[in-house]
Amino acid sequence: MKERIGFIGVGLMGHGMAGNLVDKGWPLTVVGHRNRAPVENLKARGAEEADTARELALQSDVVLLCVTGSPEVQEVISGPDGLVAAGKPLLIIDCSTSDPSVTTRLAGDLAKSNITLIDAPLSRTPADAHAGTLDVMVGGDPDVVARARPVLEAFAARVVHTGPTGTGHTMKLLNNFLSMGYAALYSEALALGAKAGLTSQVFDSVIRGGRMDCPFYQTFFKWVLDRDPNAHKFAIRNGLKDMTYLASFANAAGLANPMGAAVRNSFALAVGTGHGEDYVPMLADVVAGLNGVSPREAT
């Protein structure tokens, strides 16, 4: 018999993940979301709705979290009507991009309440979440990860066990450092090309199919070339959040990370100039505009 699943955070990524779970026969309960459309969609497909995290915990064996970051995770777990308030054993799977130091501390605290927390952050896009082809990095005890694996495989094509709890979030920060770094590099390169009279089409004709091509590049350039706003639905403000977590992690580890600081500054500048809700590929337009180049010329 399949375990009862609770899901908190049915936003851009969470909706597709939860949809795969309910469609594949997992008993699913979700907490209401500020956007009612995904909640109503999931209920129409067979999910139940709980009013609070505490109520959801009472109906669940396993709870997945797909919220913004560590503060939101702590609130839904330890808030006045949070998961801990249910007073029962649970397996909590944190699919958010969170601060690894917070994750490990929280896991230790929750163990005293007979609650197990593992981290299982995600890679790829909301389209992959709906298709069930996400990549998942899981940190936790091997036996717990084995229990969680069938749940994760409902929406993931690849599940990689990274080590103890906290290592999933660490690996996710490194993954996002690379992807946000690519975004910053592409954006500056396009702006420089525009200054020199090189179009984005010429840029792409050189890079695509060559050694510097990759799936992230192709997704990024769906916006650059085709102006597809749904190419990569990940907000610039979330990129800044992740790069800030990386800076905190590097500082705690005693590691100088000048490249990380430079990438973070690119995202901080975009957020500071009012572009936090734009999606990551739109950073190309922001960098172009701040350098006096027409976004159409640069992109």
Active-site annotation, residues: 172
Task: Determine contact, residues 257/250, Cβ cutoff 8 Å.
Answer: yes
**Cβ burial, residue 72 (10 Å; 0-12/13-18/19+):** middle
How far is the C-alpha of 237 from the C-alpha of 90, rounded, in Å? 31
Task: Determine contact, residues 233/13, Cβ cutoff 8 Å.
Answer: no
